[in-house]
Amino acid sequence: METWHDAARRILEILSEPGPGIVTVCDVTQTVKRAFKFRFYPTDEQAVELARTFGCVRLVYNKALEERSRAHALEGRGLSYAQSSAALTEWKKTTELAFLNEVSSVPLQQALRHLQTAFTNFFTRRAGYPAFKSRKKSRLSAEYTRSAFRWREGRLTLAKMGEPLAITWSRPLLEEADPSTVTVSKDAAGRWFVSILCEDAIRPLAPATAVVGVDVGITASATLSTGEKIANPRYERADRRKLARALRNLTRKEKGSANREKAKRVVARIHARIADRRRDHLHKVTTRLVRENQVIALEDLTVRNLVTNRKLARAVSDASWRLLRSMLEYKAAWYGREVLVVDRWFPSSKLCPACGTIAPPIPLSVRDWVCACGATHDRDINAARNILAAGLAERQNACGAGVRPQGSSLLAGDRR
């Protein structure tokens, strides 16, 4: 049986030779649900109405969660969405909660559906127990379905509002857009957004001949098996002094004062600027990788565990490896590409592809190392090439080639 070292060396030799490479043909147009997010500027009346709706959505969610928790703790029974919906009708009839009738009923019903989904995820062990929504920390949002908004000639009008939203169309919406759901939100920086969910027909890209392995890092956002290193802009570090100054200013403000709220918005705007620039950078990188390559191999990293390292947590969070992988996966699914995921325990950095030797632990400060066989390796480029070879070897093994990598269980089919 062919060993991992033999398979890796053979595949790397094949990849280095000119030729058609690996091509997966997929020429079927698929229809997907796609959300288009835009910023809008509400009038004073619309802002008041939306703020009232956000508060009612939060109240209904928390009250329904409280009722479900109480029924389970005291009576040992669960409540369904239908029972929570019936309870909402009764709440509206009381004097104390009669104000729930002043806002559209659809966002309130959607809050109950979201709670039902949260419990479903909890019982299937995909998430923890649902938490109460905080007035200050939770995301402000409300979801409207078709019965609660009007879409005519590119103008969106929500229920309980007489005027359409003043949306800034930063990119064109689909010509025949037929929104099924509209979600309105407000972030901590005070910006208003509307997310319009539509069905979009996506045609896969033409088959590519290139394949690539990607090793994510801190100095380089991504190192490719081709030898290219994509620099990490480190947007959080670039704005760190500005952020620290804003945080110091915030601590000087009296709690509960208007000046403290203004200082909070300044801090939130800096965080929003960092997040927006980082997301834009990752979109450009992942779009390029998907367009140029048919197969993309990644390493399965547990970012949640990595951020427990106090020395690296800030840099790891700024690199946003999980977001990069998520973007690659959904874009590959849209455009007919393939993402291979290599097991996190695979020694990608320490494996010498020339002799198959696994080097002893190498400190992170060492970026180049020399194998006992005399081969010199750039740590990141070597890791990217090994990740690619491991992913392709497992891909061959899944197709019946009988290749089993030594000392690791490669989960190439893990598409989480």
Tell me which residues are annotated as active site. 215, 299, 380
The answer to whether the Cα torsion of 78, 84, 87, 91 is positive or negative is positive
Alpha-carbon separation of residue 70 from 63, 73, 79, 212 (angstroms): 10, 5, 10, 53
Joined tokens for residue 35:
């959300």
> In this structure, what DSSP letter does residue 101 have?
G
Alpha-carbon separation of residue 50 from 61, 143, 189, 262 (angstroms): 16, 11, 16, 21
Please give the helix or strand (H or E) that residue 266 lies within, else none.
helix 258-292
**Which amino acid does the sequence have at 80?**
S
CA distance 262 to 400: 62
CA distance 84 to 117: 13
CA distance 173 to 196: 9
DSSP state letters, 19-51:
S----------EEEEEEEEEEE---HHHHHHHH
Q: Is 56 in contact with 107 (CB distance < 8 Å)?
A: yes
**What value, to the nearest 5°, has the Cα angle with vertex 223 and ends 207 and 307?**
115
CA distance 212 to 338: 11
Joined tokens for residue 230:
């994509």
User: Is residue 413 classed as helix, strand or coil in its secondary structure?
Assistant: coil
Burial class (CB in 10 A: 0-12, 13-18, 19+), 227: exposed
Q: Is 200 in contact with 206 (CB distance < 8 Å)?
A: no
Taking alpha carbons only, the member of 120, 121, 118 closest to residue 133 is 118
